[in-house]
Amino acid sequence: MMVIRVRVAQEYDVDFLVKCNTALAKETEGKILSEPTVRDGVLALLHRATLGSYIVAEMINASERSLVGQLMITHEWSDWRNGVIWWIQSVYVDPMWRRQGIYRAMHQYILEQAKQEPEIRGIRVYVEHRNHTAQAVYQNVGLTNAGYMVYEMML
């Protein structure tokens, strides 16, 4: 019997996290990312907990365990709420394991963690506007469209 285990990622998960992030960029936006840059970015977050954390999901049975999904949480201070909002980012589930409750398990894990931290005021996610599959997944776990659009200027 396979069991989903969700946990905070550790430095020894870096190869999996890099693989997921590069696959995510290619799949969702057609972008080819520099693996050394992504590795440095992943390690920077793993070493600076004040920025956020990665969450991983693994499938476990009696003889093996396999990492199958990831998401990243980053922190935003909200002066309006006098607290922190967790942003879900870099969500990726191995295509072989999709539609089997992997994201739902990761979402439930972070929701439970957030409810135990008094300064956490909410959870947000941004999703590419054409990614209707992801939008449906987020709605199915109780997230709602907040009505904002994201603008950016990358340096």
Residue 151, pLDDT score: 87
Structural domain boundaries in the chain: 3-140
**How is 20-35 classified by DSSP, letter by letter?**
HHHHHHHHHH-----H
Closest CA to 114 of 140, 87, 94, 96: 87
- Helix, strand, coil content of the chain in percent (nearest 5): 40, 30, 30
Q: For each of the chain's 155 residues, which pLDDT tens digit applies? A: 789 999 999 999 999 999 999 999 999 889 999 999 999 999 999 999 999 999 999 999 878 889 999 999 999 999 999 999 999 999 999 999 999 999 999 999 999 999 999 999 999 998 888 888 889 999 999 999 888 888 888 89
Alpha carbon 143 to its chain centroid, in Å, reads 14
Give the Cα-Cα-Cα angle 23, 27, 33 (nearest 5 degrees): 50
Q: What is the CATH number of domain 3-140?
A: 3.40.630.30
Distances from the Cα of 75 to the Cα of 27, 86, 121, angstroms: 25, 5, 11
Full-model pTM: 0.92
Q: Cα(75)–Cα(112) distance, rounded to whole angstroms?
A: 16
